[in-house]
Amino acid sequence: MKKLASVGLGLLMTTAMAAVQAEEVKIGMITTLSGGGSHLGVDVRDGFMLAIERSGRDDVKVLIQDDANRPDLARSLSNEFMQRDNVDILTGIIWSNLAMAVVPAAVRQGTFYLSPNAGPSDLAGRMCHENYFNVAYQNDNLHGGMGAYMREQGFERPILMAPNYPAGTDALAGFKHLYEGEVVDELYTQMGQTDYAAEIAQIRASDADSLFFFLPGGMGISFMKQWENSGVDLPVFGAAFSFDETIIQAVGSAAIGAMNTSLWAYDLDNEANHAFVEGFREAYDRMPTLYAAQGYDTANLIISALEKAHPSDQDAFREALREADFDSVRGKFRFGPNQHPIQDILVREVVEGDNGQPTNRLVGIAVEDIQDIYYEQCQM
């Protein structure tokens, strides 16, 4: 009898220990830390880690790996995270093509995925999943927001430009969806193009009254510098991807005057944002970008849900995520039925900052409570 009791006690103790171990939460972050566009991944990571550190929770373990902007590598890293490290939550991917390679398989296997950036239309629509949450935006949001803003501002003949690849054509389609008017022309450039003399000449020869472009990364830097010296005098509009703080520093004075849509601005007036911007500058000695803000929000959403449930209790944790019960740096934030954000799209203008360097200043709201157009295709 005594023996039995001690065995029972031992069993109890081991289960108790297992319970303590299960308390720990493992988050696997796959993001782009090297190669082209790595400043996006670095900012998502830094914003995310800032929120984790501030939460003071030492039971949250974040594992970080670099996908080098390669879909195959991202896929094998996600398998490693799920099978070897048994992570509860995956996050971090920057690029839509990498997200498409990783997310559907991961959520099917019962892992949560929270996107801090990429928002391809398929994942918002027909391939949506109860374990997939997008904390950033659906890809069309910022372009559509600018379309609505330009129509409202009375521009009648915009000319559009984007690289000839899926996100480029999607960007222009998203713009036209909310612009709802005629556009003068659509110019498609090559991916990675560096010389835009030919396109600028076409813009000059057209009778457009404004320019909207989507040229992420280095492409936008090259274009804006050449645009400034071309003597073409049209107002310039774009999405925040071409005007984040890192990019406009490289573009220099050429960026001044450009209007861009974003879901966040560093001078957005709310308490969570003041704390974020100050903390980020203190910790990393640079201005945060929208990517850092998205990473910060993603981590805070996770922490808010962890207060209520552990990811191993999937239904409770999912419900807690849906509530989005956290102080977003965007001021207000809620999820639509496809677990993508319903949020305000802001307009920012690039102005000369106090130190003479260009910086973004909040101008107003382009569209309130924008929702993607794919949620009706989502059956959860």
Partner 1 sequence: MTLFIEQLINGLQLGTMLFLMASGLTLVFGVMGLINLAHGSFYMVGAYATALVTAATGSFFVGLAAGIAVAAAVGALVELIVIRRLYHRPHLDQVLATFALILIFSEGTRWIFGSSPLWLNPPAMLSGSVTLPGGLRYPIYRLVIIAVGVAVAVGMYFLITRTRLGMRIRAGESDREMIGALGINIARLYTLVFAMGAALAGLAGALVGALQSVQVGMGEPVLILAFVVIVIGGIGSIKGALYGAILVGVVDTLGRVFLPGFFRQFMSPSEAAGVGSAIAAMLIYIMMAAILAFKPKGLFAANE
Two tokens at 327? 């102080």
CB closer to partner 1, 126 vs 204: 204
Q: How far is the CB of 187 from partner 1 (least distance, A)?
A: 7
Site for partner 1 contains 9 (CB under 8 A):
no
| Structural tokens at position 253 | 């004075």
State yes or no: residue 201 binds partner 1 (CB under 8 A).
Answer: yes
- Asked if residues 203 and 234 have their Cβ atoms less than 8 Å apart, the reply is yes
Region 245-304 residues binding partner 1, contact defined as CB under 8 A: 246, 249-250, 252-254
Q: Is 25 helix (H, G, I), strand (E, B) or coil?
A: strand
198 touching partner 1, by CB under 8 A: yes
Instruction: Report in angstroms how near the CB of residue 69 gets to partner 1 at its nearest.
Output: 11
Transcribe 196-246 into DSSP letters.
-HHHHHHHHHS--SEEEE--TTHHHHHHHHHHHHTT----EEEEGGGS-HH
Confirm or reject binding of residue 10 to partner 1 (CB under 8 A).
no
Q: Does the footprint of partner 1 cover residue 13 (CB under 8 A)?
A: no
Residues found in the chain: 380
Per CB under 8 A, the list member of 21, 229, 355, 379 interacting with partner 1 is: 229
3-state secondary structure of 23: helix
Binding mask 202-221 for partner 1 (x = CB under 8 A): x-xx------------x--x
Contact flag: residue 26 with partner 1 (CB under 8 A): no
Whichever of 222 and 377 has its CB closer to partner 1, that residue is 222
Q: In this chain, which stretch among 86-94, 227-235, 306-314, 336-344 interacts with partner 1, using CB under 8 A?
A: 227-235
Whole-number minimum distance, CB 104 to partner 1, in Å? 27
Element (H, E) at 33: none
Q: Which stretch binds partner 1 (CB under 8 A): 52-60, 129-137, 186-194, 324-332?
A: 186-194
Contact pick of 152, 195, 307, 325 for partner 1 (by CB under 8 A): 195
184 binds partner 1 (CB under 8 A): no
Assess 36 for contact with partner 1 (CB under 8 A).
Answer: yes
Q: How many residues bind partner 1 (CB under 8 A)?
A: 38
117-124: long-range contacts (C-beta < 8 A, 24 or more apart)? 117/40, 117/44, 117/93, 117/291, 117/294, 118/93, 118/94, 119/340, 119/372, 120/96, 121/170, 121/372, 121/374, 123/99, 124/338, 124/340, 124/372, 124/374, 124/375, 124/378
Comparing C-alpha atoms, which of 137, 111, 110, 109 is closest to residue 123?
137
